[in-house]
A and B are shown apart, each in its own frame.
Chain A
Amino acid sequence: MTVTTPATLDALADAVATTAPAPLRIAGGGTTRPWRHNGAPPGVDVIALGALSGLTAYDPAECVVTVLAGTPVRHLTDTLAVHGQYLPWDPPIAGDGATVGGMLASGLSGPGRYRYGGVRDFVIGARVVDGRGRLIASGGQVVKNAAGFLLHHALVGSAGRLGVIAEVSLKVFPRAEATRTLVARASSLAGALAAHERLRLANLDLDALDLDATSAVVSARLAGAADALDARAARAARALAHAVETLTGADEARHWQALSLAAWPATGATVKVPAAPSRLTAILATLMPLGPCRLSAGGAVAFLHSTQPLDALQDAFAAAHLRGAVVRGPDAGTPLGIRHAPAFADRVRASLDPDGRFR
């Protein structure tokens, strides 16, 4: 096993080309797949992106940032915050050296995806190194662009299997003036689901809406002008129809951190399950016996943390006709349950990685 740590895009392309045709793994911060600790399997070369770090371009007035893939997410969010801007999808894994490339490859969005969309909705361009060491650009640094194939979209959720994400251009937004979170503890899961549904349908422009299934707690965040928050919070509380705890500032931040999938151990399997409000009861009936689970983005997605063997997860997902994937843990990147016919995916992969190096 060799580990290469290129510091420039050219060096990265060169490293991929010179290690051909050995299988490759890409190491970001090691926060979704813990290779950092385990190393890669024998015969697999590792390209570490830690030295490929920093902002390539950022004009706050433009609300667009271009950043190298090895840049820590925290560094990016800190830089944006200085200019009153943020990543609206709340990358759930941002600490411990989690990288921008990993953020894209994992395709994970946090609670903030509820209002303005997920990471897929904010990626406007990328540069990627393919399996033959060719540096390829798609998209650009403008928020509206219909020129050429949108390869950067396919990198979202690609789990390092299409190519090495080298640089990413993102649309960013101004951060809201103020936020406030309402927390309601229901006496049962059914009660929590009902309150969650009332909030979702009340057209409140919530910034985030999550439900912790294990504890039957509903959390709703409002964001916007400070002088409008009292009126908005009162409406949200009426829709919740439960005793409400109101959180702001550091308490609010801690509450959402505790709810984040990053709060689960990196061991075991964190599983992502695309969901839909009308199917939540059925989905939770499948997931809850497997481990603690949470709903995020108004029930558009469920997250499970399980210490069950992968086979048991596969069986449970297949039996329930669920589609999901392990997104964190030693098996990160493994799809679960029903799968789509692979013809298009295979052809896309063949164009980027004809030698099958990114496994």
Chain B
Amino acid sequence: MDLTTALAAIYPPDRLLTRASALASYESDALTAFRTRPLAVVLAETRQEVIDTVRLCHAAGVPFVARGSGTSLSGGSVPLDDGIVIALNRLNRIVRLDPVDRIAVVEPGVINLDISAAAEPFGLYYAPDPSSQSVCTIGGNVAFNSGGAHCFRHGMTANHVLGLEVVLPDGEVVRLGGDSVEDVGPDLAGLFVGSEGLFGVALEVTVRLLPRPESYRTVLASYTSLQAAGDAVTRIIAAGLLPGAMEIMDRLAMDAAEAAVHAGYPPGAAAVLLVELEGDAAQAEAELARLSAVLEASGPSHVHIAANAEERALLWKGRKCAFSAVGRLSPDFIVQDGVVPRTKLGDALVAIEQLSRQHGVRVANVFHAGDGNLHPLILYDGREPGALARAEALATDILRLCIRLGGSITGEHGVGLEKRAFLPEMYRPEDIAFMQRLRESVDGRRLANRGKMLETPA
């Protein structure tokens, strides 16, 4: 019996897609440069269906990839032409939300922001906030160790996942971790997070919820140079402050955001720095006084403290929409996701500016400054001959710059298909060889998300 026939015994026809027209929307994810039509797509509705599908794939030796909302920016959920896509969006139940123990137990297809929405009546929220949080799913966040704007203080997805139920690539089901922030034995849930689907499929995820801070104080400082904004971040940390988030946007990104949402960013500034303090009201107020003094000394052209929740929301809306807003500036763009040590932000920005000029390609910068996580948006017009190649050449130079400065090729988007060639530049051959051994040990037939992270492109 071939695999499709076997799958038809599990799934009704409307949840087993094999026709070209139905498969089209599963050919690629948010990184549209990669596109492959899979053998079939199954729309799973229960855990057992996922387990059975993985077991059938294993028996048939057919590779599979789990998929949520398809928002991967590294091509992490692009299928293989002889492979199966296991779509998990319908596994979207919040199994349990416990406001006393401050945890949520969710299925992998639950949308990131829906957890916070469900927790909101209890004064709780789920901290990791990737820019795509209104559509991306927890399963994908787990696979790629998603970040967001609050990682310096609050950590990444790995720091918020307490437990997992997982189907391994051979169909065996295991539990990792538990339902407490403290566990015993090796932190295997922490190892599973960020494995880009290579260790199997998460069936259930237990996340911790944080109490919503009593108070937020959000400050916008504008500068006449990008480097001055970067230096201000170093001063803030040196002063012993621990903001929840520090974000920087350059002029081009601000222009795009302004055109989209009129966030009120100051005209004429070369860069803005958004700093947000959070916590106990008295503490946040005391920190605001210290932050204001640090910012004044950092030579800003303008400092604005959000007066109320509406002003705060607007400042953030501009930042959160910057990626999509850049679409107004350019028909196509590549989002990079490299990381540099925070103290090297200034150097990195100067170098990116030089590279941009050198390649003749425009770059808009939006980034998580507190985390050293750059998000240069490399603008190009795909209709123009050679434009994509120039943009890619610049992207490559920026990744190598991040490695050279002691950082990482990806802060939160993952390696996926996009950055496979660069992982061996970041790690030594011995390190990559270990990752291969671990992968072989977990998935001897290399079925789970084959082609990603560890396999260098031909």
Which of A's residues lie within 8 Å of B, judged by CB? Answer: 59-64, 84, 107, 109, 113, 116-118, 120-121, 130, 134-138, 140-151, 153-159, 161-162, 171, 173-175, 177, 203-205, 224-225, 227-228, 231-232, 272-278, 297, 300-301, 323-325, 327, 335, 340-341, 343-345, 347-348, 350-352
**In the complex, B409 has a CB within 8 A of chain A:** yes
| Interchain CB contact under 8 A, A204 and B280 | yes
B211 CB contact (under 8 Å) in A134, A136, A203, A278: A203
Q: A150-B158, A297-B181, A325-B185 are in contact. Are A277 and B340 (CB under 8 A)?
A: no
**Which residues of B pack against A, CB within 8 Å?**
98, 100-103, 123, 144-147, 151-153, 155-156, 158-159, 166, 168, 172-176, 178-188, 190-195, 199, 211-214, 234, 237-238, 240-242, 279-280, 282-283, 285-287, 290, 337, 339-343, 368, 371-373, 406-415, 419, 423, 426-428, 430-435, 437-442, 453
A204 and B212 alpha carbons, distance in the complex (Å): 11
The listed residue (A141, A162, A231, A340) touching B341 by CB distance below 8 A is A141
B245 → chain A closest CB, angstroms: 12
- Interface contact A348-B343, CB-CB below 8 Å: no
Q: Please tell me if the beta carbons of A276 and B158 are within 8 angstroms of each other in the complex.
A: no
**In chain A, what residue has the closest Cβ to B178?**
A274
B55 to chain A, nearest CB (A): 14
Residue contact B188 to A345, C-beta cutoff 8 Å: yes
A343: contacting residue among B153, B172, B182, B432, CB under 8 A: B172
Q: How far is the CB of A185 from chain B (nearest CB, A)?
A: 25
Cα A64 to Cα B343 with chains together (Å):
11
| Contact status B181-A340, CB under 8 Å | no
Q: Is the CB of A203 within 8 A of B123?
A: yes
The answer to whether A143 touches B152, judged by C-beta atoms less than 8 angstroms apart, is yes
Interface pairs A-B: 6 shortest CB-CB: A153-B190, A225-B286, A325-B184, A174-B240, A301-B182, A274-B180
Which chain B residue lies CB-closest to A225?
Answer: B286
Choice from B212, B408, B415 contacting A140 with Cβ under 8 Å: B408
Taking a contact as CB atoms under 8 Å apart, the answer to whether A300 and B182 are in contact is yes
CB neighbours (8 Å) of A130 from chain B are 434
Contacts of B432 in A (CB 8 A): 148
Neighbour of A155 across the interface among B180, B186, B282, B431, CB < 8 A: B186
| Nearest-neighbor residue (CB-CB) of A231 within chain B | B282
Pick from A117, A228, A351: contact of B434, CB under 8 Å: A351
A181 to B75, CA, bound (A): 50
A156 to B437, CA, bound (A): 20
Q: Are A348 and B430 in contact (CB under 8 A)?
A: no
Q: Which residue of B145, B237, B438 contacts A146 across the interface (Cβ within 8 Å)? A: B145
Please give, as numbers and ranges, the residues of chain A lying within 8 Å of B191 by CB-CB distance: 149-151, 153-154, 348
Q: Is the CB of A153 within 8 A of B372?
A: no
Cβ–Cβ contact B341 & A142, under 8 A: yes
Name 13 interchain pairs, CB-CB below 8 A, sorted by A. Answer: A64-B341, A109-B182, A113-B181, A140-B407, A142-B340, A142-B342, A143-B342, A144-B372, A154-B190, A232-B283, A274-B182, A340-B174, A347-B441
Q: A158-B186, A224-B283 are in contact. List 9 more A-B contacts (CB 8 A).
A: A120-B187, A140-B406, A140-B407, A140-B426, A146-B408, A276-B101, A276-B103, A278-B100, A300-B181
CA distance A61 to B411 in the complex (A): 20
**In the bound complex, CA of A301 to CA of B153 (Å):** 22
Contact B188 A146 (CB under 8 A): no
A143 touches B343 (CB 8 A): no
A324 vs B237: C-alpha distance in the bound complex, in angstroms?
Answer: 38
Cβ–Cβ contact A148 & B431, under 8 A = yes
Docked Cα-Cα span, A146 to B441, in Å, equals 21
Name, among B188, B241, B280, B415, the residue most crowded by chain A CB atoms within 10 Å (CB to CB): B280
Whether the pair B145, A225 counts as a contact (CB closer than 8 A) is: no
Instruction: Indicate if the CB atoms of B174 and A341 lie closer than 8 Å.
Output: yes
Residues of chain B lying within 8 A (CB to CB) of residue A142: 339-342, 371-372, 406-408, 411
Q: Are A121 and B155 in contact (CB under 8 A)?
A: yes
Q: Which residues of A contact B151 (CB under 8 A)?
A: 143-144
CA distance A203 to B280 in the complex (A): 8
Cβ contacts under 8 Å, B368 to chain A: 144
Contacts of A274 in B (CB 8 A): 178-180, 182-184
Contact of B185 with A335 in the complex, beta carbons under 8 Å: yes
**Secondary structure of the A side of the interface?**
mixed
Residue of A nearest to B442 (CB): A347
Complex: A174 Cα to B437 Cα, angstroms: 38
Complex contacts, A61 vs chain B, CB 8 Å: 234, 237-238, 342-343
The distance in angstroms between the C-alpha atoms of A173 and B244, with both chains bound, is 13
Q: Quick check: A228 and B282 within 8 Å, CB to CB?
A: yes
Given A153-B187, A345-B186, A59–B341 Cβ distance below 8 Å? yes
- CA A153 to CA B157, docked complex, whole Å: 12
Residues of chain A with a CB closer than 8 A to B437's CB: 351
Residues of A within 8 A of B407 (CB): 140, 142
> In the bound complex, what is the Cα–Cα distance between A84 and B408 (angstroms)?
27
**Is A335 a contact of B101 with CB atoms below 8 Å?**
no
CB of B286 within 8 A of CB of A227, answer: yes
Given the known interface contacts A117-B155, A146-B408, the answer about A348 and B186 at a Cβ–Cβ threshold of 8 Å is yes
B196 to chain A, nearest CB (A): 9
Chain B residues within 8 Å of A149, by CB: 191, 194-195, 435, 438-439
Interchain CB contact under 8 A, B147 and A144? yes
The answer to whether B441 touches A351 (Cβ under 8 A) is yes
Instruction: Determine if B168 and A153 form an interchain contact, defined as CB atoms under 8 angstroms apart.
Output: no
Residue of B nearest to A85 (CB): B240
Query: Which residues on A sit within 8 Å (CB–CB) of B179?
Result: 274, 276
Q: Is the CB of B182 within 8 A of A297?
A: yes
- Residue among B178, B180, B372, B409 with most chain A CB within 10 A: B180
How many angstroms from the CA of A121 to the CA of B413 in the assembled complex?
A: 19
A146 contacts B180, C-beta separation under 8 Å:
no
Chain A residues near B287 (CB, 8 Å)?
A: 224-225
Q: What residue of chain B has the Cβ atom nearest to residue A226's Cβ?
A: B286
Kindly provide the distance from the CB of B82 to the nearest chain A CB, expressed in whole angstroms.
25
Chain B residue at smallest Cβ distance from A119:
B187
Interface centre among A117, A138, A147, A278 (most CB of B within 10 A): A147
B341 touches A145 (CB 8 A): no
Q: How far is the CB of B428 from chain A (nearest CB, A)?
A: 7
Indicate the member of A224, A277, A324 with the most B CB atoms within 10 Å.
Answer: A224
Distance in angstroms from A106 CB to nearest chain B CB is 10
* In contact, A137 and B441 (Cβ under 8 angstroms): no
Q: Is the CB of B182 within 8 A of A144?
A: no
Instruction: Give the residue name and chain of the B residue nearest to A173 (CB).
Output: B242
> Which of B156, B234, B280 touches A144 (beta carbons < 8 Å)?
B156
Q: How far is the CA of A238 from the CA of B212 in the complex (A)?
A: 21
Closest-CB distance, A108 to chain B (whole angstroms): 9
**CA separation between A339 and B147, bound complex, in Å?**
31
When the two chains form their complex, are residues B184 and A324 in contact, meaning their CB atoms are under 8 A apart?
yes
A203→B406 CA distance, assembly (Å): 38
